Amino acid sequence: MMRRNLLAGISMISLFLPSIASATEAAGPPMVELSSTLNFTAPDGSELSVTAGIYSVEQPTGMNLRLVAELALVTREILATTFTHEETLTAPLAFVVREKEQGDTVHLLFLLPDGKGFDAVGQADGVHTRGGNVHFRQKSQYTGVVMQQSRIQLDTDRQRRATMQGDITKREKELKELQQKAEEASDSDSLSVYLGALFGDDPGAGTTKPKMKLQRCDICKVLQKR
């Protein structure tokens, strides 16, 4: 009975690992961070204010980009123009750049692996463009600093994914070691020590009433990391 309880507890810990791995393998839409409020153009031509924050970027249809706020789940659709790029991508990439000549003008760029890109022009809050929006030139502007920034973003994403994968591998190793120890603990005294450490009980007391003492075994270390 005690052995079954111990192995059941370890199995509960292992349930967390597939979800972490799935999140790493199935990366969601690319994310961008706006450091200040920006005014974009809505699909109907009106001015649309987008507050500072972290947004996922999607390209639902036509010439629009969709911004979904990370915390409030607020959705904004903004108008963009299209261009072509020559970057080698395996997934969509989104990032924000600021024009050198016009410090109040920013471009939210969304690049697809098929060579198509979208450019949504935004203005700093309180600044209004006269005579229409300003856009990058179709080809030359996307081969210099913009593409360099995209490569930096790609490198950052790769490093982040590698770190997450390393954490998953480490936790999987800890879980395997823990399962091996549990299988080797065949006598009741060893099982009592494991269960006592898990539930915070005195090994000799014969009870499993939960207590807040979670520093006494490998199982607890894994739980604390979660």
What is the three-state SS of 169-203?
A: HHHHHHHHHHHHHHHHCCCHHHHHHHHHHHHCCCC
What would the pLDDT profile of 73-100 be if each residue is shown by its tens digit?
789 999 999 988 888 888 899 988 887 6
Average pLDDT of 108-130?
Answer: 79
* Domain identity same for 80 and 126: yes
- State which H helix or E strand residue 10 sits in: helix 2-14
pTM assigned to the model: 0.49
Asked if 120 and 65 touch (Cβ cutoff 8 Å), the reply is: yes
Question: How far does CA 186 lie from the centroid of its chain?
Answer: 42
Q: Which tokens hold the place of 9?
A: 């507890």
Asked if 30 and 108 touch (Cβ cutoff 8 Å), the reply is: no
Count of structural domains within the chain: 2
The arrangement of strands across the sheet holding 64-69 comes to 31-34, 53-58, 64-69, 75-79
Please report, as a single letter, which amino acid is at residue 157: D
**H-assigned helices in 69-187:** 145-184
Asked if 199 and 209 touch (Cβ cutoff 8 Å), the reply is: yes
131 phi, psi to nearest 5 deg: 75, 25
Average pLDDT of 122-144?
Answer: 49
* Domain identity same for 151 and 54: yes
**Alpha carbon distance 199, 67 (integer Å):** 45
* Domain identity same for 167 and 93: no
**Residue 194 belongs to what domain range?**
2-23+161-225
Whole-number pLDDT of residue 162: 66
Asked if 111 and 148 touch (Cβ cutoff 8 Å), the reply is: no
* Domain identity same for 123 and 46: yes
* Domain identity same for 32 and 94: yes
* Domain identity same for 132 and 115: yes
* Domain identity same for 15 and 67: no
Half-sphere exposure of 93 (CA within 13 A, CB side): 26
* β-pairing verdict for 53-58 and 81-84: unpaired
* Domain identity same for 112 and 191: no
Whole-number pLDDT of residue 44: 92
For the chain, the average pLDDT equals: 68
Question: How far does CA 156 lie from the centroid of its chain?
Answer: 12
Whole-number pLDDT of residue 47: 93
Average pLDDT of 30-37?
Answer: 89
**Alpha carbon distance 55, 68 (integer Å):** 5
* Domain identity same for 144 and 40: yes
What would the pLDDT profile of 131-141 be if each residue is shown by its tens digit?
333 344 444 34
**Alpha carbon distance 221, 67 (integer Å):** 39
Last residue of a domain, one of 160, 177, 202: 160
* Domain identity same for 35 and 74: yes
